[in-house]
Copies of this chain bind each other. A is one copy, B any other.
Amino acid sequence: MTEIRSSSAGSAPAEVPGSAAVVGCGVIGAAWAARFRLHGVPVKAFDPSPDAARIVDEVSANAVAAWEDLGLPAELASIEFCDSVEEAVAEAELVQESVPERLELKQSTLAAVDAAAPADALIGSSTSGLLCSDMAANLTHPERLLVAHPFNPVYLLPLVEVVGGKATSAETIDRAMSTYRGLGMKPLHVKAEIDAHIADRLLEAVWRESLWLVNDGIATTEEIDDAIRYGFGLRWAQMGLFETYRIAGGEGGFGHFIRQFGPALSWPWTKLMDVPDLTDELVDRLESQSDEQSGAYTVRELERIRDRNLAAMMLALETNQWGAGQTVAEMRERLDRS
């Protein structure tokens, strides 16, 4: 059952950077730091928040536990907190920026990174929605800036969306693909710059529809989550939308499917195109339903439950030599060799 088709990572060789800087140490930045350190890459970090060190500690502990679940060597390379962006990035081969999603903040932070990082450093931004070209506005060397958008938990989920801006060089994209592959990830090169890239586009479509369902009193947050995780969510851990429905087309293939089901699928598409207002009442309803659904666990407990489940499913897929399991297998081979 070996998955033989061409990978989105292409034939990029896997390269592990010699050092990395993490700028912004919230949950995303801290999880990047953990992934780097678990690959033996020493990290320098900068975050002005007094909570940064605690978040790094907590996320690192989760990451180590998850890698132990995967049966991977779970040793953390060093991390050093710096007093400035400049100090953190001065010697970094890879800089990962994960500051809050405000364009001005991204621009000023990246300008500081650009001014202080080695000329040949890769600069990846974790932005989930902003355009690389917009963020590159103030840079002297915009050719080495790219979007590298990961998914929580970053130390475990393989996907990273790699997007260049107008000024990003082809060499930067090639190096980024090799580097993130070397960090055990599945880099997906998104060829066009659009708001929210690919995955968050899909996620936001689901958000929009889900908020309507709650807003209109059709379903609770728990019912919506159950509709996902007992059904199509299981499918999507191993095949996406198109491959799944190719099967539904039978021997006639995907064209047969889409020609047959297209018209039937189209009618609900014409509805609920608007966006519900995020009123206080809707926010309160979402909050109380979420408490009802998940309040028996702390967030720390939920994180560990999530990570144990992800690791177990990824191991299962590794046995089957498929999808995210293949990414784990490749990572395991490299880590066991080193």
Q: Which residues of A contact B (CB under 8 A)?
A: 1, 4-5, 8, 27, 101, 129, 151-152, 157-159, 161, 186, 188, 190-192, 194-196, 198-210, 213, 216-219, 221-244, 246-251, 253-255, 258-259, 262-275, 278, 283-284, 286-287, 289-291, 293-294, 296, 298-299, 302-306, 308-310, 312-317, 319-320, 322-324, 327
Q: Is the CB of A210 within 8 A of B241?
A: yes
- For A210, the closest partner residue in chain B by CB is B241
Q: Is the CB of A218 within 8 A of B194?
A: yes
Indicate how many identical chains form the complex: 2
Given the known interface contacts A151-B232, A202-B206, A273-B274, the answer about A240 and B227 at a Cβ–Cβ threshold of 8 Å is: yes
A-B contact pairs, 23 of them (CB 8 A): A129-B264, A151-B232, A152-B244, A159-B227, A159-B231, A186-B230, A191-B219, A198-B218, A199-B232, A202-B206, A205-B206, A222-B242, A227-B240, A228-B236, A232-B236, A233-B233, A236-B237, A246-B290, A251-B298, A253-B291, A255-B290, A273-B273, A313-B313
Please classify the interface of chain A as helix (H, G, I), strand (E, B), loop, or mixed, using the class held by over half of its residues: helix
Q: Is the CB of B190 within 8 A of A235?
A: no
Q: Is the CB of B205 within 8 A of A190?
A: no
Cα distance, A294 to B227, chains bound together (Å) = 27
Expressed in whole angstroms, the minimum distance between the Cβ of A105 and any Cβ of chain B is 13
Of listed A200, A230, A232, residue having the most chain B CB within 10 A? A230
Cα distance, A295 to B54, chains bound together (Å) = 49
- For A1, the closest partner residue in chain B by CB is B305
Q: Is the CB of B268 within 8 A of A204?
A: yes
Specify which of B217, B224, B250 is in contact with A241 (CB 8 Å cutoff).
B224
* B residues less than 8 Å from A235 (CB atoms): 151, 157, 233, 306, 310
Extra 11 A-B pairs, beta carbons < 8 Å, given A5-B294, A221-B242, A309-B316: A129-B267, A151-B235, A188-B227, A188-B230, A192-B218, A199-B232, A202-B206, A229-B323, A233-B237, A255-B286, A309-B317
Of listed A198, A210, A266, residue having the most chain B CB within 10 A? A198
- For A198, the closest partner residue in chain B by CB is B227
* B residues less than 8 Å from A290 (CB atoms): 242-243, 246, 253-255
- For A301, the closest partner residue in chain B by CB is B1
Expressed in whole angstroms, the minimum distance between the Cβ of A129 and any Cβ of chain B is 7
- For A101, the closest partner residue in chain B by CB is B264
Expressed in whole angstroms, the minimum distance between the Cβ of A148 and any Cβ of chain B is 13
Expressed in whole angstroms, the minimum distance between the Cβ of A319 and any Cβ of chain B is 6
